[in-house]
Amino acid sequence: MAEKKGLVMVFTGNGKGKTTASLGMALRAWGQGMKVLMLQFIKGHRVYGELTAAAKLEGMEIRPMGDGFITSGGRLELHRQAARNALEEARREITGGRWDMVILDEIIYAVGFNLLSEEEMLDLISLKPPGMHLVLTGRNAPQSLIDRADLVTEMKEIKHPYARGVKAQKGVEF
């Protein structure tokens, strides 16, 4: 049996699959009897397939905490408040002792949109108990996060159906 060491893992890049990869990690951990929490920093106001699935898995929880996808409209303050609430929830849950894995889905986007600071994101890593796995997702991971992480995977877009005008597909994007 391998020695248990909680890892910091980052899924970043401009390609599809960051949240999907973290959900794969969640399912694998859950299958090993671990308790898993995913906090979604941007997603909200929509029923995603992962929410329906996780609701059926005792010991796995997904909480959409965001105000939906960010556009150039005037909702920036609502997004900022939602991100602040998600940050506080992350602090409580990381230090609460209930979870073996915590996934901070789209937190890197929250930093990129200046909803949270890079320092606030990095502070969450320092709160992580030694045995907990912590996963962070989103495009454009800053070098400071890459340096702190144990594992970093960059998703690179080679081809995407959006480029041909194909809209988001159920079971693939949501």
At 95-106, the pLDDT tens digits run: 999 999 999 999
Instruction: Judge: domain 8-164, CATH 3.40.50.11540.
Output: no
Q: Please report the pLDDT score of residue 2 as a whole number.
A: 63
Whether the full predicted model's pTM is greater than 0.75, yes or no, is yes
The pLDDT confidence band at residue 1, using thresholds 50, 70 and 90, is: low
Burial of 129 (0-12, 13-18, 19+ CB in 10 A): middle
b or e along 26-51 (b: 16 or more beta carbons within 10 Å of the residue's beta carbon)? bbebbeeebebbbbbbbbbeeebebb
Q: What is the mean pLDDT of residues 64-84?
A: 82
User: 158: alpha, beta or left, given left = phi > 0 and alpha = psi -120 to 50?
Assistant: alpha
Residue 153 is given by DSSP the state: E
CA–CA dist 147, 93 (Å, integer)? 24
Question: What are the sequence ranges of the domains in the chain?
Answer: 8-164
CA–CA dist 150, 6 (Å, integer)? 9
Q: CA quadruple 161, 162, 167, 172: dihedral positive or negative?
A: positive
Q: Please report the pLDDT score of residue 71 as a whole number.
A: 64
Strand 60-64 and strand 101-105: the pairing is unpaired
Q: Please report the pLDDT score of residue 48 as a whole number.
A: 84
